[in-house]
Structure 1
Amino acid sequence: MDFAYDARTEELRTKLLAFMDEFVYPAEAVAHEQRERLASPWDTPEVVEDLKAEARRQGLWNLFLPDAEYGAGLTNLQYAPLAEITGRSPHLAPTALNCAAPDTGNMELLAQFASDEQKKQWLEPLLAGEIRSAFAMTEPEVASSDATNIETRIERSADGSEYVVTGRKWYISGAMNPDCKIFIVMGKTDPDGADVRRQQSMILVPRDTPGVEIRRAMQVYGYEDHSHGGHAEVVFHGARVPASALVGEEGGGFAIAQARLGPGRIHHCMRLIGMAERAIELMCRRAVGRTAFGKPLAQHGVVHTWIADARVAVEQLRLLVLKTAWLMDTVGNRGAHTEIQAIKIATPRAVVDIIDKAVQLHGAGGVSQDFPLAELWAGARTLKLADGPDEVHQRSLARRELKRYV
């Protein structure tokens, strides 16, 4: 078994590591400072646009898309170590490379399922980084971990020329950003259909459509997550869009959602490993630079345990993520279903613990804005819920294991 990265991956890793050192890490403080002076906290700091221009100039753009017609043409296995690097600055680097959620999943969805007209109108400007997008699935009134519960209605008008969208969504990532121009909305076109997985459809709703209300920003552990464009509560008050706005066919929404979420889950896990590496680095620097009870923190046994356990966990997770990426490339997302669920369960759980230990080692500084750890922890903890909570994946994974013995 060959564990080495191929030549193209190594070349891009070298470029990306240099890009991070020269441009991204120095821009973290600059972005924070510029954001405080913006007219709206949801506007994009100027330094982010500078980073995007530099990333395009260096060919570090749309790395996530395996389709060479639209992206860099990398396999999942080639992209995995690059996504890990961006995870070290998760609120800046992915956006700089046009590889940030939810746009990545939305672009993959549009590339796979959209009509030519829809691609021209929405996919092309997303690929160019000219606009942002949002994926409107989660709802506050139902247990959205079971997507068949979705209550938003997508109803055909009497003359068939339009669809009318009515419903309430929340935690719609990116929706507070004024550059977010399009919502991909999941709702029910056939709420009484016999097959509960054929009741849903996907439809494109432009932000400026009459009847679309961005009601409020939702906080995540007290953070409003300005860098990702926030997480909004969005209400659709009978918003009307042309019938041509439907993505795919009526009743295809559930299948489209599953196709979108598979790659999204592995991308999150790739970046989580980078977040863990950043936390370990900060933990080690703190341990050798601080003294308590007469000796450096690095000489206290409990600190040894935290650092050693963190390194073991990261190495295990990286191998599982790379195996999953390889399977997605060779046997497809369906063939890698077990591994996708395994990394979605294991990675956020372990990374939350690693970051938590780094916070503990930093004391009061760990929960402050002077270090990235508190924000990293909030992001990692949220990923135990995003793209399906742990318990849903555990249930599905266990049932698949048990099936072999029944």
Structure 2
Amino acid sequence: MAWDFSTEPEYEAKLAWAREFVDEEILPLETLELSQEQLDRAIRPLQEEVKRQGLWAAHLPPELGGMGFGQVKLGLLHEILGRCMYAPVVFGNNAPDSGNAELLAVGIEQTGREDQREQWLQPLLDGKLRSAFSMTEPGAGADPTMIQTRAVRDGDEWVINGHKWFTSNGSVADFLIVMCVTNPDVHPYQGCSMIIVPRDTPGVEVLRDIPTMEHPVEHFGRIGGHSEVIYRDVRVPVENLVGREGEGFKLAQLRLGPGRIHHCMRWLGQSQRAFDMLCERAVSRRLHGSLLAEKQMVQQWVADSMAEMTAARLMTLYAAWKMDQEGAPAARVEIAMIKYYGAAVLYNVIDRAIQAHGSLGFSTDLPLERMYRAARAARIYDGPDEVHKVTVARQVLKRYQPHEVPSEHVPTRREAAKRKFAELLELATAND
């Protein structure tokens, strides 16, 4: 089957518009110190323009207000949005809201709970509510089967107790989707469920937005903040279950597959931005009598970056294409590969751009140092590199069968080859 990443001219025109819109209208916002309220006001008219262009929440099917684009088209759009940290919010597909909307949509389709559409999904799509995804726990780390948060059925309510951290958007969310153990007597992959918890429910305590390498100072209200949350005897209706009981991990995989492709394409957009800065610096800065562009070391940085970015882009588009053709499970290996390879490319390209700018690149006068700090997290979230490499290796090795080692009484392969060659030589001589 031939690979095909092409899109129709009409969509190419949409991408061209998005590229100019991001660079001219959204990127300048990064230079301003805005509060959450100020940022919300600033991006609202931009969001309306995106809706008029038919690119709002493009990851969703048309019946949910999206465009129903496949993963290849979405990937190409996310490559553009990756250039600016605010662009996904403006286009209505920022994490975790985009993934949570997909979770709710799948859950409603499975269970027919139309009340969830009216109460949570539609307001989320309209931008009237914000959501958080509360799965990661201290101690569980890269092994989600170690999740300890429990949800116990008590009549017509779930009672939730647990400790989460790195809950994306937890401090600004109107509701959280919480991964809980609901069936502790079975394997964790069949024993966890996702439950909607309104942020103002008694017992929900957001302790802090965790300071990180990317955001060293705690700052509530920041888009993308990672919160530490305690759930103490939190009671919510049983109807707040997302999808079917015990299928939390199955839902999580539906959410993470496309999300990783979008991450990787956004990383390419960020890499391209850093690469542009590297090349502009190379042709502008003179040092020791010549331009940086004339130094072989810098030429190597440019060549390596270009090759790595091209490889990552083709790998990511292939993963997206395979998902479009065969579904997420069939693209499991490809998705895992782009997660760790794309993260490394992002880090490498930004690092070279900083090096080319010297002390200026290290300073906050340029966005490179912020991009660099954010890039380091890419090797950890959505599963660390090592987990994805194990996934790839295991899946690939399943395709191979062990060969039998010849015993001393069986001719070795070399001896067999020699005998075959002698037979061919004898046959050729006879024909002559």
Q: Which residue of structure 1 lines up, in the alignment, with residue 341 of structure 2?
A: 346
Which of 228, 237, 241 is 2:232 aligned to? 237
Q: 1:229 to 1:402 in 2, by over 3 A?
A: closer
1:385 aligned to 2:380? yes
Q: 1:306 to 1:68 in 2, by over 3 A?
A: farther
The residue identity in structure 1 corresponding to 2:150 is R
The 3-state SS of whatever aligns with 1:213 is strand
Q: CA deviation at 1:24?
A: 1.3
Q: 1:229 to 1:394 in 2, by over 3 A?
A: closer
Q: Which residue of structure 2 lines up, in the alignment, with residue 19 of structure 1?
A: 21
Q: CA deviation at 1:152?
A: 0.4
Q: 1:262 to 1:67 in 2, by over 3 A?
A: farther
Q: CA deviation at 1:356?
A: 0.9
The residue identity in structure 2 corresponding to 1:109 is L
Does the CA-based 8 Å contact 2:347-2:376 persist in structure 1? yes
Q: Which residue of structure 1 lines up, in the alignment, with residue 291 of structure 2?
A: 296
| Whole-angstrom distance in 2 between the partners of 1:364 and 1:46 | 35
Q: Which residue of structure 1 lines up, in the alignment, with residue 186 of structure 2?
A: 194
Does the CA-based 8 Å contact 2:106-2:243 persist in structure 1? no
Q: Deviations over 1:333-389 (max 9, x none)?
A: 011111111111210011111111111112222232222212222222212111111
Q: CA deviation at 1:83?
A: 0.5
Q: CA deviation at 1:118?
A: 0.9
Which of 6, 9, 12 is 1:7 aligned to? 9
Q: 1:395 to 1:229 in 2, by over 3 A?
A: closer
The 3-state SS of whatever aligns with 1:84 is helix
Q: Which residue of structure 2 lines up, in the alignment, with residue 144 of structure 1?
A: 141
Q: Which residue of structure 1 lines up, in the alignment, with residue 318 of structure 2?
A: 323
Q: Which residue of structure 2 lines up, in the alignment, with residue 110 of structure 1?
A: 104
The 3-state SS of whatever aligns with 1:145 is coil
Q: Deviations over 1:168-188 (max 9, x none)?
A: 1111111222xx111000010
- Note the 1:76-115 alignment, pairs <5 A: 76-89=71-84, 91-114=85-108, 115=113
| Whole-angstrom distance in 1 between the partners of 2:355 and 2:368 | 10
Q: 1:64 to 1:372 in 2, by over 3 A?
A: farther
Does the CA-based 8 Å contact 2:151-2:182 persist in structure 1? yes
| Whole-angstrom distance in 2 between the partners of 1:67 and 1:318 | 27
- Note the 1:22-33 alignment, pairs <5 A: 22-29=24-31, 32-33=32-33
1:212 aligned to 2:213? no
Does the CA-based 8 Å contact 2:196-2:242 persist in structure 1? yes
The residue identity in structure 2 corresponding to 1:338 is V
| Whole-angstrom distance in 2 between the partners of 1:8 and 1:186 | 41
Does the CA-based 8 Å contact 2:183-2:246 persist in structure 1? yes
Q: Which residue of structure 1 lines up, in the alignment, with residue 177 of structure 2?
A: 184
Count of residue pairs brought into register by the alignment? 392
The residue identity in structure 2 corresponding to 1:124 is Q
Q: Which residue of structure 1 lines up, in the alignment, with residue 44 of structure 2?
A: 49
Q: Quick one: percent identity of the two aligned structures?
A: 43
Q: 1:154 to 1:43 in 2, by over 3 A?
A: farther
| Whole-angstrom distance in 2 between the partners of 1:222 and 1:273 | 19
Does the CA-based 8 Å contact 1:55-1:96 persist in structure 2? yes
| Whole-angstrom distance in 2 between the partners of 1:26 and 1:260 | 31
Q: Which residue of structure 2 lines up, in the alignment, with residue 357 of structure 1?
A: 352
Does the CA-based 8 Å contact 1:42-1:176 persist in structure 2? no
- Note the 1:367-386 alignment, pairs <5 A: 367-386=362-381
The residue identity in structure 2 corresponding to 1:188 is V
Q: CA deviation at 1:277?
A: 0.3
Q: What residue ranges of structure 1 are gaps of 5+ in the alignment? A: none
1:281 aligned to 2:276? yes
| Whole-angstrom distance in 2 between the partners of 1:108 and 1:74 | 14
Q: Which residue of structure 2 lines up, in the alignment, with residue 166 of structure 1?
A: 161
Which of 120, 123, 140 is 1:122 aligned to? 120
The residue identity in structure 2 corresponding to 1:112 is V
The 3-state SS of whatever aligns with 1:289 is coil
Q: Which moved more, 1:224-233 or 1:70-79?
A: 224-233
| Whole-angstrom distance in 2 between the partners of 1:353 and 1:375 | 14
| Whole-angstrom distance in 2 between the partners of 1:294 and 1:228 | 45
The residue identity in structure 2 corresponding to 1:215 is L
The residue identity in structure 1 corresponding to 2:247 is G
1:153 aligned to 2:147? no
Q: Which residue of structure 2 lines up, in the alignment, with residue 404 of structure 1?
A: 399
Which of 47, 60, 63 is 1:65 aligned to? 60
The 3-state SS of whatever aligns with 2:262 is helix
Does the CA-based 8 Å contact 2:181-2:188 persist in structure 1? no
Q: CA deviation at 1:222?
A: 4.8
Q: 1:67 to 1:151 in 2, by over 3 A?
A: farther
The residue identity in structure 2 corresponding to 1:346 is Y
The 3-state SS of whatever aligns with 2:364 is coil
Does the CA-based 8 Å contact 2:5-2:317 persist in structure 1? no
What value does the CA root-mean-square deviation take over the aligned residues? 1.8
Q: What is the TM-score when the length of structure 1 is the normalising length?
A: 0.92
| Whole-angstrom distance in 1 between the partners of 2:259 and 2:349 | 22
Q: Which residue of structure 1 lines up, in the alignment, with residue 424 of structure 2?
A: none
Does the CA-based 8 Å contact 1:220-1:378 persist in structure 2? no
Q: Deviations over 1:207-261 (max 9, x none)?
A: 0111111101112205158652411111111111011111122211111111111
Q: CA deviation at 1:92?
A: 0.7
